[in-house]
Chains A and B, each alone.
Chain A
Amino acid sequence: MKTLFLPNARPPRTTFALMVAGQAGLLLLLWLFYPLQLFPSLGDVLRALADLTTTQGLVPELWASMTTALQALGMATVLALLISYLTALPFFRPLAYAASKMRYLTLTGLTFFVALLVSSGHEVKLSVLTFATTVYLVTGMTAVMLGTTQQELDHARTLGLGEWRSFWEVVVLGKLADMLEVVRQNFAIIWTMITLVETLYQSEGGIGLLLYKQNRYLHLDGVVAIQLVILAAGAAQDYVFGLLRRVFFPYASLAAAR
């Protein structure tokens, strides 16, 4: 037990698991028995979840949003990698700089311009999400690339690898695991944005619109139910990304302190 309160300690697995279970149980008890009813009760949330699933198509809406999010993430990842890797050439550095700064743009006005450019509601959603995710990914990815040390590049050069081959070996292959981590971290941003985009452009539906409607009519139990579903989906995604990292980049976590 003492190890749980020691800095940098490594408690036994069972102690840690018990601690997590205890904290989760405490949170549940607090939810069940908190005297001020600011928050919908667990029973209300479960009932709202059942209602959303059976009558309002929560699962298909979630699936629609998730596939759109994955599509956007895939396209944004390719674009962001391309922009980031191009920073090897000084000519393209302003592009990456500008792309990174565009994360300060608000999406509200952007959907209108995108709607003029593309034909369907789905494409609007996808384009806006891809744009918004790309600018965040570029920021994270260029930061990873800037973490490349002189020693790493010198090492490749001393092996007689040319500049492009050194870049490929040290930055592209050597940082791929870190790039996946950037993608994992920024996937959460897509969930924040998808609810916003679906609200702004409602023709396509999606879990964001469902959430918006629940919120608009003050169905707080429904809001909490949807938020919990998004939380669970996000946690599952995090797990999958972690799994991919362990499978494809087994070396990535070897040197990390546990």
Chain B
Amino acid sequence: MTPYSYKSPVLTLDNVSLTLNGETILRDISAQVLDVCRPGMNQGQVVGFYGRSGMGKSVLCRLMAGLLAPSSGEVLVGEAQQPATPGAVGFVQQHYPLFNHRTLLDNLLVAAARRYPDPAEARRQAEEYLERFQLTPHRSKYPAHLSGGQRQRAAIAQQLLCSDHLILLDEPFSGLDVAMIDEVRKIILEVTTLDELNTVVIVSHDLATTTALSDRLWLLGQERDAAGQLLPGATISPQHQYNLAEMGLAWHENVEAEPEFVRFVEHLKEEIRLSA
């Protein structure tokens, strides 16, 4: 097992609930992402939140990104554990939005201008990200001219240019074929290698891929009361919080081929079926 230790929290969901128009969407969600440290490794981490369709994943993302205030509880981000505000967390939405009226380079420059007030430095950083994400040949194109993969890389680069180490991906594997999923996995791992402090939070309904990439996993689901009735709102019950590093299932190159991993995913599927 790879040795590791945990340091300070980078993201905390403390008893977060959300009610919209009288309907409970999320209920008492508590989870904490800690900065993981692996001796001799200069790599960040990936953590995952799994939830079935319609379980409030996108709402959870908006809460973590500071775009929505919880009805109760709090979302704290960063080393200083400040309440989440828009811009504090990099957030790549499901359809990889970019400014369609700006070229790719201009899109990155808008993002870079916030962290790098010197225009020359902002341009240098934007160019560097274009190079790193193999987007330099497309720098003058408008988003409508980019392929799905290029658009996704551009959206991630844009968020990395203006956020502080924490980046949130909403359904990064949704609607992608096997080759594209591999491509996205590479990008996610590339993001974690850019800086040891980088933490990628995946919120997805792709159980196997999310589990294979993550070292912590939370399952979003519904609970039942003593009478067997479903309680309103999705939550994360204590038994649905998994430390994959502790279980020896994290940071393996081809973990999906390992029998233990296969058994674990089957166990998760069973848990999900039971909570449905």
Contacts and interface: CB of A to CB of B under 8 A. Distances in A.
A and B: partners? yes
Given A158-B159, A255-B144, A169 B65 contact: no
A158 B100 contact: no
Interface string B62-102: 10010100000000000000000011011101010111110
Nearest to B103: A251
B158 interface: yes
A152 B97 contact: yes
A250 interface: yes
B187 interface: no
A34 to B, nearest CB: 47
Contacts of A173: 99, 101
Nearest to A175: B101
B116 interface: no
Interface string A172-206: 01101100000000000000000000000000000
Contacts of B100: 174, 251, 255
Contact of A159 (B62, B87, B142, B144): B87
A8 interface: no
Nearest to B142: A251
Chain A, interface SS category: helix
A59 B65 CA distance: 62
A254 interface: yes
A157 B144 contact: no
Contact of A251 (B97, B110, B144, B163): B144
Nearest to B65: A158
Given A151-B95, A157-B86, A158-B87, A254 B144 contact: yes
B252 interface: no
B208 interface: no
Contacts of A158: 65, 67, 86-87, 89-91, 93, 159, 163
B132 interface: no
B186 interface: no
Interface string A155-172: 111111100000001100
B87 A157 contact: yes
Contact of A250 (B93, B142, B162): B142
A160 B163 CA distance: 8
Given A251-B144, A254-B142, A254-B144, A154 B67 contact: yes
A157 B93 CA distance: 12
A232 to B, nearest CB: 33
Interface residues of B, number: 26
Given A154-B93, A254-B144, A255-B144, A159 B162 contact: yes
A249 interface: yes
Contacts of B143: 251
B101 A249 contact: yes
Nearest to A253: B144
B181 interface: no
A125 B13 CA distance: 63
B34 to A, nearest CB: 23
Given A158-B159, A159-B162, A151 B101 contact: no
B38 interface: no
Given A173-B101, A251-B144, A159 B111 contact: yes
Contacts of B110: 159, 161, 169
B97 A151 contact: yes
A176 B101 contact: yes
B158 A159 contact: yes
Given A254-B144, A254-B145, A159 B97 contact: no
Interface string A220-258: 000000000000000000000000000001110011000
A160 B62 contact: no
A151 B93 contact: yes
A257 B183 CA distance: 28
A198 to B, nearest CB: 39
B224 interface: no
Contacts of A159: 87, 110-111, 114, 158-159, 162
Contacts of A152: 97
A177 B87 contact: no
A188 B97 CA distance: 34
7 contacts: A157-B67, A158-B159, A159-B87, A160-B87, A173-B101, A174-B99, A250-B142
Closest 7 CB pairs of A and B: A160-B87, A254-B144, A157-B86, A155-B97, A251-B142, A158-B91, A255-B144
Given A158-B86, A161-B110, A251-B142, 5 more contacts: A152-B97, A154-B67, A158-B163, A159-B159, A254-B144
